[in-house]
Amino acid sequence: MSSYQPCRDLSESAGITYNNMHSYYAHYGVDWEQPKILEQISELDNWDILSDGEVIGAFRLAFDSSTCYLRDLQVCQNFQNQGIGAVALAEAIRLAKRQGATKLKLKVFKISPAYRLYIRSGFTCNNEDERFYYMAHNIT
């Protein structure tokens, strides 16, 4: 069973993102290294995903007046395809609702298998470009 805590080590968290995403960055020619990721996430609402007390992933949220943005959802490779991402997504929705958001938005690389998770979780694609699907979920 997963649990969550505010992120305790942003550098470790950035490493999880880099490890999961570097093949996507390479595919699209994006030059992002771990220090750049750390810089980008430092102002976000960062959460650790835990299993038996071990950090196995992360998600990051940003807020404006009525919308929450899921800026990142990462599960370490050894823990993927076990439903952890879906449960973490539900936790992100719960936290967004608690903060008063009425919509959760995200973007996902078109080549990412996470796209299917978001569709299964009720997100709809409302725009796309050459790299990303832009998706939203109404929070009720």
CA distance 135 to 89: 13
Residue 25 has pLDDT above 90, yes or no: no
Q: What is the pLDDT of residue 32?
A: 75
Residue 33 has pLDDT above 90, yes or no: no
Q: Assign residue 53 a region (left: φ > 0; alpha: ψ between -120 and 50; beta: otherwise).
A: left
Domain ranges within the chain, ordered by starting residue: 2-138
Band (pLDDT 50/70/90 cuts) for residue 6 is: very high
Give the residue-averaged pLDDT of 68-88. Answer: 95
Q: What is the pLDDT of residue 37?
A: 82
Q: Which CB contacts under 8 angstroms, 24+ apart, belong to 19-22? A: 19/76, 19/77, 20/74, 20/75, 20/76, 20/77, 21/74
Decide: 28 and 46 in contact? Cβ < 8 Å.
no
Decide: 1 and 89 in contact? Cβ < 8 Å.
no
Q: What is the pLDDT of residue 30?
A: 81
Write the pLDDT tens digit of every residue in 127-137: 999 999 999 99
State the CATH architecture for 2-138: 3-Layer(aba) Sandwich (3.40)
